[in-house]
Structure 1
Amino acid sequence: MSAAELARLQFAATTAVHWLFVILTMGLVPMVAFMHTRAAYTRDPAKRAVRERMTRFWGQLYVINYAVGIVTGLVMEFQFGLSWSGLSKFAGNVFGAPLALETLIAFFAESTFLGMWIFGWGRLRRGIHVTLIWLTALTAYASGYWILIANGFLQHPVGYEVRDGVAHLTDFGALITNSMSLTALAHLSLGALTTGGVFVAGVSAWHFLRGTEETELFRGSLRIGVWVSMIASFFVVVVGEWQKPIIEDTQPMKAAVIEGSGVAEAQAQMVRQFGPGNYVPWQDWVHVSMNVMSVIGNTVSTITFIAVFLLWKDRLVRWRPVAYLMVALIPFPFIASIGGWVVREIGRQPWLVYGQLKVDDAVSHVSRASLIVSCTVFIAVFVTLAVVNWTLITRYARRGPDATQLGATEPLLQEKQAVPAF
């Protein structure tokens, strides 16, 4: 493999693994915030206790995924300087601003709010504590927004001008309202909610299959997961269709490859516009990934639609084959999301900044041997982190609410407050 191919493999593999953390984080945190809000403002003591346990159980799984996932995000930032210095030289003045904002939001604001929420159980007033988890959710999506602003510039560069071979930001408003970013954010957000909803529904169904005694907790979780995934999966398909005319206007080659027609015409157009070269991406990768994403998206939408009706009289968990189906459905939204990422990124090849900077021109002047070492190390570390993450999530998900440690200080605090002072 060439140096450029090694650099691409490294970034593709690490980004794919990191994305698995991101999509579950963004999918779970709004549901945890909703659960906490409902628990905090429930007057009935028995129901409030069940809903608090529900919040802590799902909150702990979310925290595990966030804590391990944030490490992979930090590592990814270094790759721009390590392997893609050409991108920094050409587009650093534009590309760097949204990345810096994302870092400030994700690694400072979001982490701070989440930390205060984690250690605030039994220590903060109800309204403040609930506000913290909603702020965590808000900053999670704000982080996703800035990442997509940066990626949107690569897909459809706007709001800049080139001086002396370097891109300079001239219109911040155009940058932050890029159509390639905003529609992608809607698609990403709905895909994340689908993933989180299917995860919550699948884990809840598994506990029913095991004969759990926490029936109220997991019945409520199952309803939330099924409803969220049903609504989100329907609209994720709709928003996916909205992106087609935007892609046709901004990336005609990608549109031609997706449609499976007009590739030769698009190639001729690109040659006239940018000079000689091969502007056709890996068509098989784009076709397969697009089909995988579409089939899974429509399948999940159909199954969750049916599942909503089966919630009546607990038919969803009493009919064991359907409950097993909900469990088996858990990994499929993750696969679909990776397919969407492949279509978005490989579909614009050979460009790194569309129409301005090619991938081969952006690779750092690093030896092939160095890239082999870094590629091997990065992929090994990321795969290890992914295995650790899912091992922990699986372990705590299987153990159920009794193994939840999140908020464990509250009972101790109440006991201390109950002891009279002498």
Structure 2
Amino acid sequence: MSAADLARLQFAATTGIHWLFVILTMGLVPLVAITHTRAVFTRDPVKRALRERTTRFWGQLYVINYAVGIVTGLVMEFQFGLSWSGLSKFAGNVFGAPLALETLIAFFAESTFLGMWIFGWGRLRGGVHVTLIWLVTLTAYASGYWILIANGFMQHPVGYEVRDGAAYLTDFGALLTNSSALVALLHLTLGALTTGGVFVAGVSAYHFLRHTKETALFRSSLKLGLWVSAVASFFVVVVGEMQRPVIERTQPMKHAVLENSGVAEVQAQLVKEHGPGDYVPWQDTVRISMDVMTLIGNTVSTITLIALVLLWKDRLMRLRWASWVLVVMIPFPFIASVGGWVVRELGRQPWIVYGELTVEDALSHVGRASLLVSCVLFIAVFLALAVTNWTLITRFALRGPEATQLGATEPLPDDAPEGPTGNADEKRPLPAF
């Protein structure tokens, strides 16, 4: 493999693994926020206690995914300097600010709010506490917005001018309203909600297969997961189709490959505009990834709609085959999201900044041996983190609410009192969490 191939493999593998953390984080946190809101504003003490336990159960799974995933995110920024210094030199003046904002939001604001939420159980008034988890949700999606602004410039560069071989920002508004970023953000949001909903529904269905005693907790979780995933999966397909006109206008070669028509004509056009070169990406990989994403999207939408119908009179909980379908479906949205990422990134090759900078020109002057070592090490570490993450999530998900440690704290003497809008817990021994 060439140095360019190793650098591409390293970035593709690390980004792809990191994305698996991100999509679950963004999909699960709104559901945790919804369950917490319901708990805080429930006056019935029995129902409030049940909804608090529900929040802590799903919140613990979310915290595990976030804590391990943030480690993988720290590495992503450094690769621009290590392997892709040409990209940083050309486009750093434009997307340096969005990347910096994404880092500040994800690793500072979001982490701060989440830490306050984690340690606020039994110590903060309900209204303040639930506001924190909604701030975590808001910052998670704000982080996604800024990273897509940076990526949108690579897909469809706008609001800039080139001086002395480097791009300089001339229209910040154009950068913030880039169609390649905004439509993708909506698609990402719906895909994340689909992932979170399917995850919650699948784990809940598994506990019904085990004849759980936590019937009320997992019944409400199953309903929430199915409603969110059914609605989101339907619209994620619709919004996905909305991106085709944007792709046709901004990246005609990707559109030609996806349509399997007019590739030769677009190749000839790009040769006239940019000079000799092969402007056709890996057609089979792009088309197969698109087909997989579309097939999974329609499948998840259909299954979740059927499952919603089966919820009537709790038929879904009594049909073991239906519960197994929901369990088996958990990985599907993850596979679809990776397929979408492959289409978005690979489909614009050989450009790293479309029409301005090729992958070869963006590569750092790093030896092949150094890239080989870093590629092996990065991928090995990321795989180890992914295995650790899913081992922990699986372990705590299978144990159920009785093993939940999040929020099990010993209240301090001056903590917020219990009440209709409070969430102070009864006294428990302090766990090692």
**TM superposition score normalised by structure 1:** 0.98
Deviation at 1:412, TM superposition (A): 8.0
Runs of 5+ in structure 2 lacking a partner? 414-424, 429-433
CA distance in 2, matches of 1:241, 1:127: 40
Please identify, of 304-313 and 223-232, the stretch whose mean Cα deviation from structure 2 is larger: 304-313
Answer whether contact 1:26 1:193 (CA < 8 A) is retained.
yes
> Which residue identity does 1:114 align to in structure 2?
L
- 2:357 is matched with which residue? 357
Distance 1:41 1:365, change over 3 A: same
Q: Which residue of 1 aligns with 2:281?
A: 281
Alignment of 1:90-169 (within 5 A): 90-169=90-169
What whole-Å deviation, never above 9, does each CA across 1:323-354 have from its counterpart, x for those lacking one? 10000000000000000000000000000000
* Residue identity matched to 1:128: V
Q: Is the 8 A contact 1:199 1:225 kept in 2?
A: yes
State the partner residue of 2:242. 242
Deviation at 1:95, TM superposition (A): 1.4
For residues 312 and 109 of structure 1, the distance between their equivalents in structure 2, rounded to whole angstroms, comes to 42
For each residue in 1:341-399, what CA deviation from the matched residue of structure 2 results, as whole angstroms up to 9, or x when unmatched? 00000000000000000000000000000000000000000000000000000000000
Instruction: State the secondary structure of the residue aligned to 1:409.
Output: coil
Equivalents in 2 of 1:130, 1:257: separation in Å?
Answer: 47
Indicate the residue corresponding to 1:53 in structure 2: 53
1:111-135 per-residue CA deviation (whole Å, 9 max, x = no partner) reads: 0000000000000111000000000
Quote the Cα distance in structure 2 between the aligned partners of 1:281 and 1:19: 22
Q: Distance in 2 between matches of 1:146 and 1:349?
A: 22
Displacement of 1:53 after TM fit? 0.3
Separation in 2, partners of 1:262, 1:156:
21
User: 2:123–2:412: 8 Å Cα contact kept in structure 1?
Assistant: no
Q: Percent identity?
A: 79
CA shift for structure 1 position 76:
1.1
Q: Matched residues in 1 for 2:179 and 2:76: separation? A: 25
Counterpart of 2:313 in structure 1 is: 313
Q: Distance in 1 between matches of 2:365 and 2:319?
A: 60
Whether the aligned pair in 2 keeps the contact of 1:123 and 1:410 (CA below 8 Å) is no
Q: After TM superposition, give the deviation of residue 148 of structure 1 in Å.
A: 0.2
- 1:177-188 matches, within 5 Å, as 177-188=177-188
Aligned to 2:15: 15
Q: Which residue of 1 aligns with 2:172?
A: 172
Letter paired with 1:120:
G
Residues in 1 aligned to 2:302 and 2:266: alpha-carbon distance in whole angstroms: 35
| C-alpha displacement of 1:416 | 6.6
Cα deviation for residue 14 of structure 1 reads 0.3
Distance 1:416-1:20 versus aligned 2 partners, 3 A rule: closer
2:266 & 2:97 partners in 1: Cα distance? 33
Give unmatched runs, 5+ long, in structure 1: 418-422
Query: Aligned with 1:132: secondary structure?
Result: helix
Question: In structure 1, what is the equivalent of residue 417 of structure 2?
Answer: none
- Partners in 2 of 1:31 and 1:169 — Cα distance? 38
**Cα pair distance change 1:271/1:43, threshold 3 Å:** same
| Cα distance in 1, alignment partners of residues 37 and 378 from structure 2 | 39
Q: 1:415 deviation in Å?
A: 6.0
In structure 1, distance between residues paired with 2:343 and 2:317: 36
* Matched-pair contact (CA < 8 Å) for 2:409–2:427: no
1:245 partner amino acid: P
**Given that residues 123 and 411 in structure 2 are in contact (C-alpha distance below 8 angstroms), is that contact kept between their aligned partners in structure 1?**
no
Q: Secondary structure at the residue paired with 1:348?
A: coil
- Map 1:214-229 to 2 at 5 A: 214-229=214-229
Structure 1: distance between partners of 2:219 and 2:32: 15
1:128-159 deviations in whole A, cap 9, x for unaligned? 00000000000000000000000000000000
The CA deviation at 1:3 is 0.2
Q: Which residue of 2 aligns with 1:6?
A: 6
Q: Go from structure 1 to structure 2 and tell me whether the alpha carbon gap of 1:226 and 1:415 turns closer, same or farther (over 3 Å shift).
A: closer
CA displacement at 1:317 relative to structure 2:
1.4
Root mean square deviation of aligned Cα: 1.1
Distance 2:408 2:395 in 1: 18
Aligned to 1:420: none
What is the CA–CA distance in structure 2 between the aligned matches of 1:367 and 1:267, rounded to whole Å? 32
- Please name the residue that 1:335 is paired with: 335
Question: Partner of 2:326 in structure 1?
Answer: 326
Q: Give runs of ≥4 in structure 1 deviating > 3 Å.
A: 410-417
Letter of the aligned partner of 1:297 in structure 2?
G
8 Å contact kept, 1:121–1:410: no
- Partner SS state of residue 374, structure 2: helix
**Larger relative helix fraction:** 1
Question: Deviation at 1:176?
Answer: 0.6
SS at match of 1:51: helix
Q: Distance between the aligned counterparts of 2:426 and 2:139, measured in 1?
A: 34
Aligned to 1:371: 371
| Aligned amino acid, residue 343 of structure 2 | V
CA distance in structure 1 between the aligned counterparts of 2:373 and 2:412, rounded to whole angstroms: 49
- Letter paired with 2:397: A
Matched with 2:88 is 88
Cα-to-partner distance string for 1:263-287 (whole Å, 9 max, x where unaligned): 0011011001101000000001101
Supply the AA of the counterpart residue of 1:66.
Answer: Y
Amino acid in the other structure paired with 1:271 = V
